């Protein structure tokens, strides 16, 4: 019995000693670092946390943003879940985000494969492909608005192509396509950089061994490269989807939510409500949207935890 007890206690004691050794080996954080962190913490609290808490509080009232108000409980939330305009904005935003994240990731991954292969001027090409990322979204939207409204229809008329002679932005069934194109054009560079980092992290010996075994380029891409960069794919998909849910500036510059409300995103619906006297109502909508994004962020953490990427 004594031998058994000692056998059970010894590993526990060793684990405890190991934990204490790890705790001692951790570098002590100097107080000066917390002092440098304090201004950022104060600014974040005053600029983001406090306004968010105040907004959530007013979502349970009938406030129009100023003046008198009264508590109305969950009325704003119940109304939001049955409002066709809000439901349509959620449907459009989620559909747009899903399509765009697929387009962006497919295009960025294929470009990354090309820009990490043995081609000339790949460094210069990487620089060129990154340029859209540093241009303001609203500027890009206005430029493409002119192209879709004037240049493309003029080209269609000159070529005698009837369906190309009208602006796609004026078509309620196709305007979203233009938004996907422009959003993808700006979003691909950031996704591209992450994929390039992932592809460069793959040891060259892996592909050399595959070449010796007679694997073709397609087989290497689908059976070797893709599995090895799966973590980067997950991160790009979730970050991209979460970012596209906040679509606003490009939509404003291209269609301003039109034709009608066909391309009005959640963010546009919330901002429009703030400026039209629906402050408390749209704060309830914003709170619902906030909870959805938090859920997506938690999903991202659960899917990327333990992956040695980035």
- CA-to-CA dists, residue 147 to 129, 136, 141, 174, 200, angstroms: 20, 17, 10, 15, 37
Q: Are 267 and 247 in contact (CB under 8 A)?
A: yes
CB atoms within 10 A of CB 207: 15
Residue 186 is predicted with a pLDDT of 93
171 φ, ψ (degrees, to nearest 5): -100, 115
Transcribe 176-199 into DSSP letters: HHHHHHHHHHHHHHHHHHHHHHHH
User: What does the chain come to in residues?
Assistant: 310
Residue 59 is predicted with a pLDDT of 92
Whole-model pTM over 0.85: no
Q: Higher model confidence: residue 232 or residue 215? A: 232
Instruction: List the chain domain ranges.
Output: 74-304
Residue 263 is predicted with a pLDDT of 93
Q: What confidence tens digit (pLDDT) does each residue in 232-290 have?
A: 998 899 889 989 999 999 999 999 998 988 999 999 999 988 888 889 999 999 999 99
Q: What confidence tens digit (pLDDT) does each residue in 138-174 have?
A: 999 999 999 999 998 999 888 888 888 888 998 999 9
Q: What confidence tens digit (pLDDT) does each residue in 98-135 have?
A: 999 999 999 999 999 888 887 777 778 778 888 888 88
Q: Does domain 74-304 have CATH number 1.20.1250.20?
A: no
């Amino acid at each position: 019995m004594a031998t058994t007890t000692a056998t059970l206690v010894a590993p526990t004691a060793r684990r405890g000693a190991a934990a204490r050794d790890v705790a001692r080996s951790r570098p002590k954080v100097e107080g000066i670092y917390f002092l440098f962190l304090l201004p950022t913490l104060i600014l974040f609290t005053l600029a983001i946390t406090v306004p968010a808490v105040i907004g959530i509080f007013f979502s349970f009232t009938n406030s129009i943003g100023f003046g008198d108000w009264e508590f109305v409980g969950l009325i704003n939330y119940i109304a939001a879940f049955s409002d066709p305009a809000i439901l349509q904005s959620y449907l459009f935003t989620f559909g747009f985000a899903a399509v765009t994240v697929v387009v962006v990731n497919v295009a960025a991954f294929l470009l990354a494969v090309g820009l990490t292969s043995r081609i000339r001027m790949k460094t210069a090409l990487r620089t060129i492909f990154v340029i859209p990322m540093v241009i303001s979204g609203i500027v890009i939207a206005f430029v493409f608005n002119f192209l879709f409204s004037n240049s493309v229809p003029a080209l269609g008329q000159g070529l005698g192509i009837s369906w190309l002679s009208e602006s796609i932005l004026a078509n309620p069934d196709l305007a979203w396509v233009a938004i996907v194109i422009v959003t993808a054009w700006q979003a691909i560079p950031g996704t591209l950089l992450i994929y390039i980092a992932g592809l460069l992290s793959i040891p060259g010996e892996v592909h050399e061994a595959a070449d010796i075994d007679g694997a073709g380029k397609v087989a290497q891409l689908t059976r070797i490269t893709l599995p090895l960069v799966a973590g980067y794919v997950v991160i790009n998909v979730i970050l991209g989807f979460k970012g596209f849910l906040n679509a606003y500036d490009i939509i404003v510059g291209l269609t301003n939510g039109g034709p009608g409300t066909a391309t009005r995103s959640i963010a546009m619906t919330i901002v429009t409500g703030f400026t039209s006297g629906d402050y408390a109502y749209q704060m309830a909508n914003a709170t619902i949207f906030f909870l959805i994004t938090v859920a997506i962020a938690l999903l991202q953490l659960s899917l990327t935890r333990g992956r040695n990427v980035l």
